[in-house]
Amino acid sequence: MNRFTYLYLLLAVFFIHACSTTNTTEQDDQDREVAEQDQRPYQEEIDSLMAEMTLEEKIGQLNLLSSGFTETGPTLQDDYQDMIADGNMGGIFNGFTVEHTRDLQRIAVEETRLGIPLIFGFDVIHGYQTIFPVPIGETATWEPDLIKEASQVAAEEAAAAGVHWTFAPMLDVSPDPRWGRIVESAGEDPLLNEIFGEARVKGFEGDDLKDLNTILSTAKHYIAYSEAEGGRDYNTVDISERMLREIHLPPFRAALDAGAGTVMTAFNEYDGVPATGNQFLFNDILRGELGFEGFVVTDYTAIPEMIEHGVAADEADAAELAMNANVDMDMQSINYVEELPGLIEEGKISEDQVDQAVERILRKKFKLGLFEDPYRYSDYDREEETIMRDDFLELALDISKRSIVLMKNEDQTLPLSREEVNDIAVIGPLADNQYDLLGSWSAAGEYEDNITLLEGIRNNVEDNTNITYAEGTELEFEDYTTDGIEEAVEIAEDADVAVVAVGEGRHMSGEAASRVSLDLPGAQEELLEAVHETGTPVVMVLMSGRPMTINWAEENVPAIMNTWFLGTKAGEAIAQVMFGDYNPAGKLPVTYPRHTGMSPYYYNHKNTGRPMDPDERYTSKYIDEENSPLYPFGFGLSYTTFGYDNIQLGSDEISKDGTVEVSVEVTNTGDYTGEEVVQLYTRKMVASVTRPVKELRDFEKIELDPGETRTVTFDLDAEQLYYYDKDMEYGIEPGEVRVFVGTNSEEVLEDSFTVR
Ligand code: NOJ
C-alpha cells in the first residue's frame, strides 16, 4: 500500500465514521424525542392549557380533598364544593357513584373559568362493590394472575361508578403482626410483595388508561411504613439504607415498572426526615434512580404532620419541605392552597416547581381521557350493568376458596361428608356475621350482600341435615359476655360436628388498628374450650387480618381453617372447602408466632452470632416460650399429601451472571387431587455482610392427581441472589449458595452450588 492509498483509505474511514456519527446522533435525538413523547404525552395540550392558568388555578390542581365519609383522619372540609367552584381543587377522594361524581364534576367543568375536570380517587383495595378477600388473603393463593384478574374486576366496577384512581396497591413488606395494616399487604416477604404488587398494578391500569375498565393505581406507602416501632401505627421508623434497598424498594420498583401512575408518601420518617419531605427518597431515589414520571400524592394530612414530627416550624415550612421533595398533590390538608402563594412570593420555592407538579397531574387527567369527556367514567347504564356482575361474583368465589389456608386437619376431620354429618352446630361471633366479612377498606362494598358462614353451610348440605346456631360470645376486647357459652355447649353436645367461627372484627386490623396482643379477643377462646369439652369434633374457622396466637387451638382442636376476611362470597367459599368440593391449597404469606412478644417475627431473618438452640441457654431465644413458629411462612395443608424427593442442581458452579437449574420431584401421596405451591429458597452462606437464613426466590403452583409425580424445574439466575455488599455495591460475592425446595419455608430438601 503506497502513502497515497493509505491516506485515501484513512480519509475514507474518517468520512464514513463522521457520517455514521452524524446519523447516529440524529437517530439518537429522534429516539430521545419519541421516548420523551412516550413518557410525556400530551405535552402540547398541557403547555397551552397551562399558559392560560393563573398561579392560583395551578395550585388548585395540587389540592385533593375528601368528599364524604372517611375512615382515616380528623379534618373534613365542609366547604369543599365551594372550593371546587373557585378552581381550588384538582381532585376529590371518597367520592363515588355516578350520581355523586357527576354532581361534583359538573361544578368543576361548568362553574370554573377553565373547566378543568376533577380526578376522583378512592381506596379500592380488594374490590369496589364485589368484595374479594383482603390482600393478605388474596396473597395466600400464591396465584398472581388470578389476583390481577381481581384487580381488573375492581377497576372495571370502580371505573363504571365514577372513580378514576385507586389508592392501591399497598407494597409495605410487613414483618410485624401487631401492625394492623399487615392485612393490606402481601405479607412479610419482599418477593411476594413485588409479584403481587406488579399483578395488582397491571390489573388496575390495564394496557391503556383510556379504556373504560381501567383506573390509575398508587404505589403506597413510600416507604418502610411497615417498620413502625412496636408495630404501632404511624410510629417512628429507623432502618438502614441496606434494608430500605433490599427489602422495601423492590416492590416499588416492580410496581413502577408495571406502570403504576402515582406514588403515595408514607406517614413515617426515614433516616430522621418524614417521608413527605424527604428529598433523598423522592428526588434521589424515586425520580432519580427509578425514573418515576408520574405524580406523588401525600397520605392524609401528611404535610402539616411534619410540624408534629418536629421538622417544620409551621404550615409554610411544611409546604416548603414537601414541594422541595417534589411531592405534587396534597391530600386533605389544603396546605398547598394556603401556603404556596406566599412561599413563591418570598422566593422560597419557584413557580417552576409548581408548574412541574401541575404538569404531572394534568398529564394523568389527559391520559384518563377526562379532557375529552369529563363524565366518561360516570355513566348510569354502565354502572347498573357492571356492578356485581355474575362473572365477577364467580371470580370472587373462586379466589375466596383459593385464599383459604388449612392449618390443621387431624385424622382427616375435613372434608365433612354430607352423608355422614347429619347435625351441625354452627357457633361463634363470626358465624352469622355479614358485617365483618368485608375486612378493612371495603370501598363501596355493602355487608348485606355477604354470604355468612351459617348461610353458606345451609346452602351446601342435604335438605335433612339439621343446622343449629349460637353466637356464644361477642367480638369485643372488653364489653363481652360469656352468658351465651352455655347455649353453644348445648347445641354442640347434640351435634355430629361443631363449626366454631372465631377471630377478629374487621376493624381490629387495618389502619390505626395495631394490637399489643395477637390472642383471640374477648371470651372466644373460652368458648372454643367449652365447645371442645363436649367431645364433639370441632372445626375452627379463623377469620382475621393478621397472624393470631391460636396455640391452644393448634394443640387441641382437630381442624383449623384460616379464612382471613373473604368478602362477598365468604360463607359459600368456606362451606365448599369444608365439604370437599374444593381441596384447599392456600399457603401463608406470613409467619405465625407463638407469642405476641416474639414480634416482629419473620422467616427471612439473619442468623446472628448465636443462632437459637433449644438446649443452649446463651443463644438467641426466649426462655418462656418455644422459639419456633406456630406456623411457618409458606405453610398450608391440603386434603391430600405431597412428597418431595430427588432435588437436583444443573451444575455445581455458576458465574456471577449465570443460571442454575434446580429441579425436584413432587408426588401426590394422598387420596385427593390437589394443588401444591412448590417453593424455592436460597441462602448465601458467607458474604461481606450478613445474609438472611432463607430468602424466597421462586415458586410454582401445580396440580397433581393421586399417585402422580411431577418434576418441577426452576431456572435460578445468579442475579436473583444479588444484594448490597459492605461497600453498597450491588451484586454477588463468590462462595457457597444453599438451595432449599419444599412445601413451606421449614420443610425443605437442600443442596448447594458455588458462585465463582
Ligand atoms: C390514609 C391511609 O394511610 C392511606 O392508605 C389511604 O389511601 C388514605 N388514608 C386515603 O383514605
Nearest to 756, CA basis, from 684, 655, 632: 655
Instruction: Say yes or no to pLDDT of 566 above 60.
Output: yes
What distance in angstroms lies between residue 70's CA and the mean position of ligand 1's atoms?
Answer: 9
Q: Which amino acid type is present at position 4?
A: F
- The residue whose grid cell reads 393470631 is 548
Residue 739 reports pLDDT greater than 70: yes
Q: Do residues 392 and 127 lie in contact, with contact meaning Cβ atoms separated by under 8 Å? A: no
Task: Give the whole-angstrom CA distance, residue 526 versus residue 532.
Answer: 10
Q: Can you say how many angstroms the Cα of residue 377 is from the centroid of all Cα atoms in its chain?
A: 25
Mean pLDDT of the 59-88 span: 80
pLDDT band at 516 (very low <50, low <70, confident <90, very high): very high
Adjacent-strand bridge partners of 322: none
The cell for 267 is 406517614
At 34, the pLDDT band (50, 70, 90 cuts) reads low
175 has a pLDDT exceeding 60: yes
Residue 560 belongs to what domain range?
A: 389-598
**Residues 105, 232 within the same domain:** yes
* Nearest CA among 682, 656, 658 for reference residue 734: 656
Q: Is 305 in the pocket of ligand 1 (CB under 6 A)?
A: no
DSSP 533-591: HT-S-EEEEEE-SS----HHHHHH-SEEEE-----TTHHHHHHHHHTTSS------SS-
CA of 268 to the centre of ligand 1 (A): 13
CATH of the domain at 80: 3.20.20.300
Question: How far is residue 460 from each of residues 45, 47, 419, 453, measured CA to CA in Å?
Answer: 58, 61, 12, 11
Task: Please state, in angstroms and rounded to a whole number, the distance separating the CA atoms of residues 275 and 236.
Answer: 11
Say yes or no: 155 and 246 in one domain: yes
Chain CA centroid to CA 505, Å: 20
Rg of the Cα atoms in the chain:
28
Cβ contact 643:664 at 8 Å: no
- Mutation to probe ligand 1, out of 299, 330, 442, 509 (largest number of atoms < 8 A from CB): 299
Does the residue 724 lie in any domain? Answer: yes
Statement to judge: residues 505 and 555 lie in one domain:
yes
Candidate list 189, 299, 317, 328, residue with the active-site label: 299
CA nearest to 153, candidates 129, 134, 136, 123? 129
- Quote the CA–CA distance of 543 and 563 in Å, as a whole number: 5
Domain check: are 660 and 576 in the same one? no
How many C-beta atoms lie closer than 10 Å to residue 547's C-beta?
26
CA of 238 to the centre of ligand 1 (A): 22
Report how far residue 170's alpha carbon sits from residue 200's, in angstroms, rounded to the nearest whole number.
10
User: Could you tell which of 96, 300, 301, 332 is best to mutate to test the pocket of ligand 1, judged by most ligand atoms within 8 Å of the CB?
Assistant: 300
CA 756 to centroid of chain Cα atoms: 36
CA of 239 to the centre of ligand 1 (A): 23
Atom 4, ligand 1: which residue's CA is nearest? Answer: 299
Give the pairing of strands 262-265 and 218-222.
Answer: parallel
441: left (phi over 0), alpha (psi -120 to 50) or beta: left
Q: Is 300 in the pocket of ligand 1 (CB under 6 A)?
A: yes
Here the cell at position 563 is 379464612
Domain membership flag for residue 716: yes
The CATH number given to whatever domain includes residue 734 is 2.60.40.10
Confidence bin at 9 (pLDDT 50/70/90): very low
Q: Is residue 31 part of a domain?
A: no
Tell me, using a 6 A CB cutoff, whether residue 504 lines ligand 1: no
Strands 405-409 and 559-562 come out as antiparallel
**Nearest protein Cα to ligand 1, atom 7:** 167
Whether residue 13 has pLDDT greater than 50: no
The secondary element (H helix, E strand) that includes residue 525 is helix 524-533
Assign 27 a pLDDT band (cuts: 50, 70, 90). Answer: low
Q: How many CA atoms lie within 13 A of 510 on its CB side?
A: 20
Q: Which residue has the cell 413502625?
A: 228
Contact 116, 58 (CB under 8 A): no
Rounded Cα–Cα distance for residues 364 and 205 (Å): 12
Any ligand 1 atom below 6 A from CB of 167: yes
CA atoms of 670 and 26, how far apart (whole Å): 66
**CA dist., res. 325 & res. 344, Å (int):** 16
| Cα 700-134-97 angle, rounded to 5 deg | 125
With the most atoms of ligand 1 within 8 angstroms of its CB, the residue from 64, 126, 167 to mutate is 167
Q: Whose CA is nearest to atom 3 of ligand 1?
A: 299
Residue 149 CB less than 6 A away from ligand 1: no
85 and 230 in a single domain? The answer is: yes
283 and 235 in one domain?
Answer: yes
Q: Is residue 511 part of a domain?
A: yes
Spacing, Cα 620 to ligand 1 middle (Å): 37
- Please tell me which residue, 21 or 310, carries the higher pLDDT value: 310
- Cβ of 441 closer than 6 Å to ligand 1, yes or no, is no
The finding on whether 511 has its CB within 6 A of some atom of ligand 1 is yes
755 neighbors 656 (Cβ within 8 angstroms): yes
Which residues make Cβ contacts (< 8 Å) with residue 369, sequence separation at least 6?
209, 210, 376
Do both 329 and 401 map to the same domain? no
Whether 157 is in the pocket of ligand 1, judged by its Cβ within 6 Å, is no
pLDDT band at 2 (very low <50, low <70, confident <90, very high): very low
What is the dihedral sign for C-alpha 635, 641, 646, 650?
Answer: negative
- The fraction of the chain above a pLDDT of 70, given in percent, is 94
Give the distance from CA 465 to its chain's centroid: 40
Q: What is the pLDDT of residues 636-662, one digit of tens each?
A: 999 999 999 999 999 999 999 999 999
Q: 299 CA to middle of ligand 1, Å?
A: 6
Q: How many domains does the chain have?
A: 3
Q: Which of 598, 632, 653 is the last residue of a domain?
A: 598
Alpha carbons 577 and 693: distance in angstroms, whole number: 34
Query: Is the residue at 339 inside a domain?
Result: yes
Give tens-digit pLDDT for 583-642: 999 999 999 999 999 999 999 999 999 999 999 999 999 999 999 999 999 999 999 999
Q: Are 225 and 231 in contact (CB under 8 A)?
A: no
* 229 shares its domain with 290: yes
CA–CA separation, 590 vs 585, rounded Å?
15
- Alpha helices of 346-452 — where are they, by DSSP H? 351-367, 380-386, 390-403
Q: Is residue 325 part of a domain?
A: yes
Retrieve residue 704's grid coordinates: 397433581
pLDDT tens track for 92-111: 999 999 999 999 999 999 99
Question: 189-223 in b/e burial notation, b at 16+ Cβ within 10 A?
Answer: bbbbbbbbbbbbbbbbbbeebeebebbbbbbbbbb
Ligand 1 centroid to residue 695 C-alpha, Å? 30
Q: State which ligand 1 atom lies nearest to the alpha carbon of 225.
A: 3
Q: Which of 647, 626, 598 lies closest to 747, judged by CA?
A: 647
Give the helix/strand (H/E) hosting 31.
helix 3-39
Q: Say if pTM beats, i.e. exceeds, 0.85.
A: yes
Distant-in-sequence, close-in-space partners of 638: CB < 8 Å, separation ≥ 6 = 406, 583, 584, 585, 670, 672, 674, 675, 676
Q: Is residue 11 over pLDDT 80?
A: no
CB 146 within 8 A of CB 116: no
Once rounded to an integer, what is the mean pLDDT over residues 688-693?
Answer: 98
Residue 121 CA: nearest ligand 1 atom is 10
Query: Alpha-carbon distance 36 to 28, whole Å?
Result: 12
Q: What pLDDT was estimated at residue 1?
A: 41
Q: Report d(CA 678, CA 103) in Å as an integer.
A: 51
Ligand 1: residue of 331, 333, 442 to mutate (most ligand atoms within 8 A of CB) is 331
State the chain's mean pLDDT as an integer: 94
Task: Give catalytic status of residue 379 as yes or no.
Answer: no
Q: Which residues, in sequence order, are bridge partners of residue 543?
A: 503
Q: pLDDT tens-digit profile of 216-248? A: 999 999 999 999 999 999 999 999 999 999 999
pLDDT at 25: 60
Q: Round to whole Å and give the CA distance between 50 and 593.
A: 55
415-452 pLDDT tens trace? 999 999 999 999 999 999 999 999 999 999 999 999 99
Query: Mean pLDDT over residues 327-356, rounded?
Result: 98
Other beta carbons less than 10 A from residue 454's beta carbon: 23
| Stretch 257-274: mean pLDDT | 98
Task: State the distance from the centre of ligand 1 to the C-alpha of 221, rounded, in angstroms.
Answer: 9
In short, whether 123's Cβ falls inside 6 Å of ligand 1 is yes
The CA distance from 673 to 702, in Å, is 11
Please work out whether the CB of residue 299 comes within 6 Å of at least one atom of ligand 1.
yes
Q: How far apart are CA 290 and CA 292, in angstroms?
A: 6
Q: Are 306 and 438 in the same domain?
A: no
For residue 300, the CA-to-ligand 1 centroid distance in Å is 6
Band (30; pLDDT cuts 50, 70, 90): low
Q: Which one of 181, 222, 264, 267 would you pick to mutate in the ligand 1 pocket, going by the greatest count of ligand atoms within 8 A of its CB?
A: 264
- Within a domain: residue 14? no
Question: Stretch 150-159: mean pLDDT, rounded?
Answer: 98
Q: Is the same domain home to 51 and 87?
A: yes
Q: Using 50, 70 and 90 to split pLDDT, how confident is the model at 79?
A: confident
**Structural domain ending residue among the three candidates 598, 627, 650:** 598
Closest ligand 1 atom, CA of 220?
Answer: 5
Amino acid making up residue 110: E
Q: And the C-alpha cell for 191?
A: 418477593
Q: Pick from 383, 410, 434: which residue ends a domain? A: 383
Q: Residue 40 — pLDDT band, cuts 50, 70, 90?
A: confident
Please tell me the number of Cα atoms within 13 Å of 504 on its side-chain side: 28
What does the pLDDT look like over 720-737, one tens digit per residue? 999 999 999 999 999 999
Query: Taking 70 as the threshold, does the pLDDT of residue 33 lie above it?
Result: no
Categorize the per-residue pLDDT at 32 as very low, low, confident or very high, splitting at 50, 70 and 90.
low
| Predicted pLDDT of residue 15 | 40
Joined together, the cell numbers standing for residue 653 give 458452579
Q: How far is the CA of 627 from the centre of ligand 1 (A)?
A: 35
Q: In 447-535, which ranges are E strands?
A: 466-470, 497-503
Cell numbers 417544620 correspond to 312
Same domain, 364 and 416: no
Q: Is residue 616 part of a domain?
A: no
Q: How many CA atoms within 13 Å lie on the side-chain side of 530? A: 20
C-alpha cell at 672: 385427593
- The C-alpha cell 352468658 sits at 483
- Return d(Cα 131, Cα 387) in angstroms, integer: 11
Is residue 411 located within the same domain as residue 368?
Answer: no
Residue 4 pLDDT exceeds 50: no
Where residue 585 sits, what CATH number does that domain have?
A: 3.40.50.1700
Does the Cβ of 482 fall within 6 Å of ligand 1? no
CA distance to 259, 572, 582, 677, 745, per residue, from 660 (Å): 30, 44, 36, 20, 20
